[in-house]
Amino acid sequence: MFGLTDRVQHKPVALLAGAAVLSALVLSAPVSAQQRDPAYAAARAAGQVGEKTDGFLGYPVPPSAEIRKLAEDINIKRRDVYAQKAAAQKATIDDYGFTSGCQLILATVPGEKYQAPDGSWRTRTGEPPLRDNKCP
């Protein structure tokens, strides 16, 4: 049986494995998700929502009530997924959200907004996005 020390040592490996699965889903999801919800695609393209370092959507500019509701609905769904995946990986939701945020920021495309490690909002260019040094 593993002790606490064993779980702590294996946690990054478990999170990385979970992030790899999430990354595969994220990389295939943006096109299909945007096709299902034109309002979300438009909000991303207009820079009204962006990917935060914690794995949730945020607001680079003050949102309208409609944009806030759209992002909150997506964030609720993400939190549910993170909770399930984190429990399976013996991690916290915050740890899983951070790892997911790293992958979601990496999956942004030029023109989309994302949160840099210092908390500022950036617009993705053709260059790799700025990510936290702790990102897998």
Cβ atoms within 10 Å of 1's Cβ, excluding its own: 3
Say if pTM beats, i.e. exceeds, 0.95.
no
Closest CA to 105 of 76, 136, 63: 136
Tell me the residue length of the chain: 136
The full DSSP string for 89-113 is: HT--HHHHHHHHHHHHHHT--TT-E
User: What are 35-61's pLDDT values in tens digits?
Assistant: 568 999 999 999 999 999 999 999 999
User: What are 56-101's pLDDT values in tens digits?
Assistant: 999 999 999 999 999 999 999 999 999 999 999 999 999 999 999 9
